[in-house]
Amino acid sequence: MEIKVLGTGCTKCKKLFAEAEEAARGRAQPVTVVKVEDFKDIMSYGVRQTPALVIDGKVRAAGRIASAQEIAAWLDEAAREGGK
């Protein structure tokens, strides 16, 4: 499972990255958290505002900082969808 934090490195992007790391910590299934700072890569997701959060290729949030609890719920959902 992979989380991508899309953003240019601003304070909000760093906060979202920290929230994503917290959500990924201690999960049964390994989760990789990656920063995507290249503008062209960010735009490839159709995101108009950063920070944005992508889980396994699906944009889950844009223009705001999702909480670790919210991200954990999305990870649970992605794990269920991956098992289908």
pLDDT of 43: 94
Residue 15 has a CB neighbour count (10 Å cut-off) of: 14
pLDDT of 81: 87
- The whole domain housing 60 covers 2-82
- Greatest C-alpha distance within the chain: 37
Strand duo 58-62 + 32-36: pairing: unpaired
pLDDT at 84 over 70: no
pLDDT at 70 over 60: yes
Domain count, the chain: 1
Instruction: Provide the whole-model pTM.
Output: 0.93
Mean pLDDT of 27-51: 94
pLDDT of 83: 55
- List the CATH number of the domain containing 52: 3.40.30.10
